Amino acid sequence: MNFGIVVFPGSNCDRDCYYVIKEILNQPVRFIWHQETDLNGIDCVILPGGFSYGDYLRAGAIARFSPVMSEVKEFADRGGLIVGICNGFQILTEAGLLPGALGRNKGLKFICRYVSLRVERNDTPFTTEYRRGDIIRMPIAHNEGNYYIDNPDKIRNQVVLRYYGENPNGAIDDIAGIVNERGNVFGLMPHPERCSEKILGSEDGLKIFKSIVRAL
């Protein structure tokens, strides 16, 4: 199986994801510059965290027009697995690959710390290594993580992760991560790549990557 990590101008978590996949899981992985349009041979696409185009207009709003995103959409239509982490989640919503939108945190301040999450679904290709109801810890690092959708009941079955105990950014219905209706596109605000080794304080994020490997 082959992973592809899309690199936009301003991405800063691309190498973290690369390290987890290459050094911890020993899986093939390559970087994909945002101007590329060839995803041949890729089984899972990762849109990493960071500040694509400096969030100059709105987080993810410019990146959605990068040439690679047309191919990412086709890849999703073919059933390919896609993970958008933090800024990647924002890009997926801006591109219409996931419903809803992400706005400024409720306190209008950047947040960078560990939070607790509850696993709502373990039947997706990204969460089979967890048990439903598991309480896990992952770090967040964002300024625009306030997830909103007009009718959260419409996506209730698509919610994969919820904030547990506290809602750090004001996201509606405590939503921290969702999948599309088909279940092959996953967006989440927490950073699993930053908690995939004991030395980092938690290994809870590694199970997301292990789940993907298992699914593929």
Active-site positions read 86, 191, 193
CA distance 131 to 58: 35
Of residues 205, 189, 208, the one with CA closest to residue 197: 205
The phi and psi torsions of 32 (rounded to 5 degrees) equal: -125, 110
CB burial of 63-102 (b: ≥16 within 10 Å; e: otherwise) equals: bbebebbebbbebbeeebbbbbbbbbbbbbbbbebbbbbb
CA distance 82 to 215: 12
Strand pairing partners for 36? none
Tokens (6 digits) for 62: 């410019």
